[in-house]
Structure 1
């Protein structure tokens, strides 16, 4: 454990535990959490008891399973309304997806990674990784690269160092140097592409959502497949993409949308 995490004390330990339960994706037994825990058995049990009593976790005594609690769900919805672009962007996402008949993603950065906030599917949706609430890589998704490219230099460099550079496909960028080069190009062009970098057959065009002072508020992407578009024809969607990103940014400024940490 790092010094920074140590300084967070019990609150930091409890939040880390909530993250683990959420990441598992299904109700989990104490023994499963203990097997992957850096805490002694008694400490882990005490943290679970505290989180359960506070409604952040729910415990099923019959099946002996822990899951995310109702209070956490309420907090998540409040955060979604107050600190997320999603409520502001909703009508613009609907309009763009209905016009183009393609999947539209809204995202923000979370420690250099992509947090998907909202998603609009066409009548015939594609099977893909992204869904609202999921975390995806920044370095090999169009929306991630679009946001990274427009960060301030020091913040962008920090985010570049946070990437895993795992090779998902033959097209994935696998080094910081390659990512820096592409981010420079994106900054000039104003748009980013996912060239089957995260999932085979899936391509997208993406743009940052910027405030009036050019702060990165989030990112917007139009995602499709190689059966529907080529990378060349996908660029035809650039005007609609940029116009929608501009409208969301303007609306966010009106609502004094808070600056988020990358």
Structure 2
């Protein structure tokens, strides 16, 4: 019985993770394909998740999307994280000083997850949002996060993993990715040019805890046509923010 309940919980979490990546919703038939449970068990599980507002059934369709309870649980992660409260103000300040979009994120497997995004007043907007997941190899913020891994850890992470191209400029060679990450380790700054979004450049810095482990990263994104002098200014602002964030970490129990 205990093993059965464990399996049901695992399936429920897998369903939520899968549906969270499908903005248009998922059919019941598709949900059945991602579990190895009998159809009747999946139906009961999905119904329970809907009753508890973890899933929401689309009216007049046999399709499901993430429910409001998932938002509440996810928001609790940020509201109970003391570092996020400090980082939020600093990320906003970087955006204001640079008049560009800023992102603050963490590494999760092969991906970067944006914990916070602050938009600028620039006409060219970055298509992203808080909670978005994007391949780490395709972004400056991802490369900054990956710089916290050793070469052996990086090789293990990307073993049997294909580096997919998001744009024609995305790095798809592990050797090239490792070369760039090694440079990030030396300089503490990462770069990207149209690797995740056309016409957009990005600069990022890793954020380290008191023992030197990379736990987050902060980036500034800006149009490709802006000159090098602006990029140099952005780097200085990022390094200032890095010092502030790492100083704040010394005062927190993290």
Q: Under a length normalisation based on structure 1, what TM-score does the superposition of the two structures give?
A: 0.85
1:26 — aligned with what?
24
Deviations 1:239-261 (A, max 9, x none): 2101102211221332223xxxx
Offset of residue 141 of structure 1: 0.2
Secondary structure of the structure 2 residue equivalent to 1:161? coil
Q: Give the drift of 1:201.
A: 0.9
| TM-superposition CA deviations, 1:146-189 (whole Å, max 9, x none) | 11012344443333337531122332211211111111111111
My pick for the range that moved more, 247-256 or 73-82, is 247-256
Work out which of the residue numbers 235, 238, 247 in structure 1 matches 2:235.
Answer: 238
Of stretches 88-97 and 138-147 in structure 1, the one that deviates more from structure 2 is 88-97
Residues 1-262 of structure 1: pairs in structure 2 closer than 5 A: 9-34=7-32, 39-59=37-57, 63-83=61-81, 85-161=83-159, 164-230=162-228, 233-257=230-254
Contact persistence 2:193–2:224 (CA under 8 A) = no
1:168–1:61 CA distance, 2 compared to 1 (3 A)? closer
1:139 alignment partner, SS class: helix
C-alpha RMSD over aligned residues:
2.6
CA contact (8 A) 1:109 1:115 kept: yes
Q: Distance in 2 between matches of 1:61 and 1:214?
A: 50
* CA shift digits 1:17-61 (9 cap, x unpaired): 001221111344423434665544223212212322333223356
- Distance change >3 Å, CA 109–CA 128, structure 1 → 2: same
Q: Distance in 1 between matches of 2:208 and 2:151?
A: 16
Q: 1:61 to 1:126 in 2, by over 3 A?
A: closer
Is 2:203–2:221's contact at 8 Å kept on the other side of the alignment?
A: yes
Q: Distance in 2 between matches of 1:38 and 1:9?
A: 10
TM-score by length of 2: 0.87
CA contact (8 A) 2:193 2:200 kept: yes
Gaps (5+ residues) in structure 2?
A: none
8 Å Cα contact 2:83/2:252 also seen in 1: no
Q: How many residues align?
A: 251
Secondary structure, counterpart of 1:178 in structure 2: helix
Contact persistence 2:53–2:68 (CA under 8 A): yes
Taking the aligned partners of 2:133 and 2:82, their CA distance within structure 1 comes to 15
Change (3 A) 1:49 1:105: same
- Could you tell me which runs of 5 or more consecutive residues in structure 1 were left unpaired when the two chains were aligned: 1-5, 258-262
Whole-Å separation in 1 of the counterparts to 2:49 and 2:98: 45
